Chains A and B, each alone.
Chain A
């Protein structure tokens, strides 16, 4: 089932086209990486999905429903610009956020206690938000985002400002929610995180989609395979092989870029005839490389 369908949305601010004819669909239970450099239009896209700003043109439907007052209850949004009412008590604040999602009182209380316990904030329940450390406030806001068991979870730079331990904690919860069927849109400019967490990616630059699809397909489609080879013997085959497009030779270690459609197995067979192979590794391009190359080309 389609959890989110975005059709040809555009948004301009003055003369700046922030988002230009962007379309995508997300299936249930998928983690979807909305990637792009700073200022690419990620946040604007998300704000249109969350109905914070209205697209100039195009259509957005969540769970096949275009009426935001209903769908907003199935939506959990952790914005990049985040903040909470500093004077409110932690428990009261979460209760307020739950009520904004029209959550039932008893269920809200139960979920609040569960998550406060899980994220080690229980003893802060009666404290004011302003007494919490930055990291704790981040976790608190994360709880506020998932409290009502959203079907579509939108996280804009969720690990910003978190230490490695809390990053792992949040990451585990994200994976757990995904297992349970939650669809997650994960926006970041840090490709290492996206590479580990996303099933599908959608790369935008200057408001336009420049690359999208399943992460594995994208890597394959990117069509460039690197080989790392460690060997003992004469390195002359590097220059003579028909499969090799480019290489960096370090004597008995080389990083090789193959021609398009070249088969690494054939290179291995060729090499084995002349040198003794210690290591042969086919290396997919990292998302980081794809990102830099795609965006740089643009």
Chain B
């Protein structure tokens, strides 16, 4: 690259990369991830369940053994999760005994006690008392075990075999597997998770284009309003200056995007084994990781479409910057651009659900919409390429080059126009200037 352009690129990049705002913006995503994962990890360590002791008063005399058999969960140290101690209590003594148990609970000798009434099969009610009754795990486990025992008894009572019924019900459980047809066959893929990923990635792309597009515009306006242009332009051609600015500021967005993509990719590939190795066995977390369909191909397309989309919109933002004289005017003039980017985001929503309709194809070939819409189609179709993907890259490149050529003419004239903002009509006139 031309040395002068390189000087502009490094100035635009470095002066901004050193600011607190950029550093925070870059680190916020990894930090969030560290906080979330670290938080889950730390909490699971802090709140290690301890073995708990419960008294069980089984007035039926038949349920206790089965109940213990159904709660065999042990802790890591080999102790039973629930120490269930059977208490034989005479019916007339019950009230007094329970008062004693309450005292034991208060003194923390036991964690709680469960009373299984004699008529549990009919009433389907049992009572459980403890100091802390918000332990969902325990409530769920106890409830499930009792329900199952009672249901079995009730089935037997009407002459049905619980084993057979349960076996049949288990066998009849249908799991719906969603598979995506690809070039080479089929792959298993969850619909919901790939949508969430698509929305997330296109949203990030949209943010990057708008944030750094506006940054570029402000940078152009600064040179105009601070009267820097003439000093610079006597050393470098306007188009070189513009290209240098676009590349430099693009580098900022690219840095953040690559960092983020690399982190997601690393989590997808190394997250699960690493967590398991660290001894974190939280099924929900591992499930989330397993569901992220972020392939290296999607990563590469994300970078490619960001680059094309950024350069395309950035040159328009540069034109706006060259046409106005202050940031306030710039805010107004950039509105059509912001709308264009937002519209492509809305189109993306419907296109991501039906990526192969003619409407999806044609909108993704319009240069204003290509970056977000075509990228969304690529992400939901991955590992297959949607129709028109390769063509869209060419049309995008071609229209970007054409746009830069046009914008450079507006830019060249605009950056030396002090004092008054230009109308769109004037800007069109500038294109025809020699």
Contacts and interface: CB of A to CB of B under 8 A. Distances in A.
How many chain A residues sit at the interface, stated as a range, is 20 to 34
Interface string A43-79: 0000100111110100000000000110011010111
Interface stretch (A82-90, A167-175, A202-210, A266-274): A82-90
Contacts of B141: none
Interface string B234-263: 111100000000000000000000000000
Contacts of B10: 99
Interface in B196-241: 222, 226-228, 230-237
Contacts of B8: 100
B226 A69 contact: no
Contacts of A159: none
Contacts of B234: 50-52, 72, 75, 77, 79
A83 B235 contact: no
Contacts, number: 72
Contact of B11 (A77, A79, A82, A96): A96
B20 interface: no
A131 to B, nearest CB: 15
A5 to B, nearest CB: 18
Given A81-B230, A144-B231, A52 B416 contact: yes
B332 interface: no
A141 interface: yes
A69 B6 CA distance: 15
A101 interface: yes
A143 to B, nearest CB: 12
A79 B231 contact: yes
B233 A52 contact: yes
B230 A88 contact: no
Which of B8, B222, B235 has the most C-beta atoms of chain A within 10 angstroms of its own C-beta?
B235
Given A52-B416, A84-B226, A102 B3 contact: yes
Contacts of B90: none
A84 B228 contact: yes
B7 A96 contact: yes
B277 interface: no
Interface in A76-131: 77-79, 81-88, 92, 96-97, 99-102
Interface in B2-18: 3-4, 6-8, 10-11, 15
A72 B235 contact: yes
A85 B416 contact: no
19 contacts: A51-B233, A52-B230, A52-B416, A54-B434, A56-B434, A69-B237, A72-B234, A77-B230, A79-B230, A79-B234, A82-B227, A83-B227, A85-B15, A85-B226, A87-B15, A88-B15, A99-B10, A100-B7, A102-B4
Interface of B: 3-4, 6-8, 10-11, 15, 222, 226-228, 230-237, 416, 418, 434
